[in-house]
């Protein structure tokens, strides 16, 4: 899916919600164990939230923990999502050039995701291979939503520029707003202004709203641009809104609630 199609998807739905498909075996409702149970869970969630979501983002960790069977259901989940939603493999890959190329093939050819998240630590040649597939995207980690982000991402160089800001400035030059996004965590909305200044046109994928405590209003205040420019993710807050039989209805209600808030923000900003 290219940038225009992504923007159209968001505008048509009035929602820039990305639903994280991270099925944790310890949190699933009764009757959903094993790979087949998890696939059933994913399908129920996808059906429930489809109208409210612009994107889906399975995190590969939850699939590969099941071994080969997990990769089977990752593929089946992707197929079930279909072409109407933007799809992101949250894989946080990155390696030397010839190896990153294999990862890019994995997520763009073996599995036909629109985007894959990529870790920047190894630099340009580790990200480059993800940028050479038409209508495919690399989503580079800049400022993540976890406490450990402080350890290195906030470290400043001698000019007072933190690492996450250098990642944005450097990586922006490796691709374009047509094939590169950044991960920017919702738990640090006070830094969104600076992020947006450094990458005015790029989409930001924003984790951390919901279970991790980030505020949608704050993220939008600093993060929206004239093409919306945000995909805000919720995983646990939606998937486990209920852990009983009514999990799908509860997920739909939570996704609808977030999408409604998004729609009203987009209207207020004259972006719809």
According to DSSP, residue 56 is labeled: E
- Total of residues contacting its own copies (CB under 8 A): 62
* DSSP per position, 80-121: HH-TTSEEEEEEEE--SHHHHHHHHHIIIIIS--SEEEE--T
Closer to its own copies by Cβ: residue 70 or 223: 70
Q: Euclidean distance between the first and final Cα of the chain, in Å? A: 21
The H-or-E segment that residue 8 falls in is helix 3-13
* 37 lines the binding site for its own copies (CB under 8 A): no
* 173 lines the binding site for its own copies (CB under 8 A): no
Among positions 116-135, residues that touch its own copies (CB under 8 A) are: 119-127
* 3-state class (DSSP) for residue 247: helix
| Distance of alpha carbon 111 from alpha carbon 46, whole angstroms | 18
Residue choice 40, 43, 92, 257 for contact with its own copies (CB under 8 A): 92
Q: How far is the CB of 174 from its own copies (least distance, A)?
A: 9
* 3-state class (DSSP) for residue 184: strand
Among positions 208-237, residues that touch its own copies (CB under 8 A) are: 212
Residue choice 79, 135, 156, 249 for contact with its own copies (CB under 8 A): 156
Closer to its own copies by Cβ: residue 62 or 86: 62
Q: How far is the CB of 115 from its own copies (least distance, A)?
A: 16
| Among 13, 27, 40, 92, the one annotated catalytic | 92
Residue choice 75, 222, 253, 256 for contact with its own copies (CB under 8 A): 75
Q: How far is the CB of 183 from its own copies (least distance, A)?
A: 10
Contact 208, 164 (CB under 8 A): no
* 2 lines the binding site for its own copies (CB under 8 A): no
Structure tokens that stand for 24 in this block? 């944790």
Q: How far is the CB of 252 from its own copies (least distance, A)?
A: 24
| Distance of alpha carbon 189 from alpha carbon 24, whole angstroms | 27
Contact 103, 89 (CB under 8 A): no
Is 57 one of the annotated active-site residues of the chain?
A: no
| Distance of alpha carbon 207 from alpha carbon 211, whole angstroms | 10
Question: Could you tell me if residue 116 is left (phi over 0), alpha (psi between -120 and 50 degrees) or otherwise beta?
Answer: beta
* 147 lines the binding site for its own copies (CB under 8 A): yes
* 69 lines the binding site for its own copies (CB under 8 A): yes
Instruction: Tell me how far apart the 2 most distant CA atoms of the chain are, in Å.
Output: 56
Catalytic positions, written as ranges: 92
Which residues sit at the interface with its own copies, rule CB under 8 A? 22, 24, 59, 61-62, 64-72, 75, 90, 92-100, 102-103, 105-106, 110-111, 119-127, 141, 144-153, 155-158, 160, 163, 166-167, 170, 207, 212
């Amino acid at each position: 899916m290219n940038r225009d199609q992504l923007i159209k998807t968001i505008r048509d739905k009035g929602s820039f919600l990305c639903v994280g498909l991270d099925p944790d075996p310890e949190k699933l409702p009764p009757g959903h164990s094993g790979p087949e149970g998890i696939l059933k869970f994913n399908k129920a969630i996808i059906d429930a939230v489809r109208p409210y979501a612009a994107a889906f983002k399975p995190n590969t960790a939850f699939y590969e923990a099941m071994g080969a069977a997990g990769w089977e259901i990752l593929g089946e989940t992707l197929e079930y999502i279909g072409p109407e939603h933007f799809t992101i493999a949250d894989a946080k890959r990155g390696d030397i050039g010839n190896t990153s190329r294999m990862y890019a093939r994995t997520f763009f050819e073996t599995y036909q995701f629109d985007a894959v998240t990529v870790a920047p630590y190894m630099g340009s040649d580790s990200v480059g291979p993800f940028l050479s597939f038409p209508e495919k995207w690399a989503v580079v980690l800049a400022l993540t939503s976890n406490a450990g982000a402080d350890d290195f991402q906030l470290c400043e160089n001698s000019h007072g520029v933190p690492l996450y800001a250098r990642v944005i400035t450097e990586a922006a030059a490796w691709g374009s707003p047509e094939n590169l996004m950044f991960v920017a965590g919702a738990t640090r909305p006070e830094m969104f202004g600076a992020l947006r200044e450094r990458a005015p046109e790029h989409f930001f994928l924003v984790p951390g709203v919901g279970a991790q405590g980030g505020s949608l209003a704050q993220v939008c205040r600093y993060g929206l641009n004239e093409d919306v420019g945000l995909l805000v993710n919720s995983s646990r807050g939606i998937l486990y809104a209920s852990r009983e039989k009514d999990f799908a209805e509860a997920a739909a209600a939570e996704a609808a609630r977030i999408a409604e808030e998004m729609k009203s923000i987009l209207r207020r900003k004259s972006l719809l």
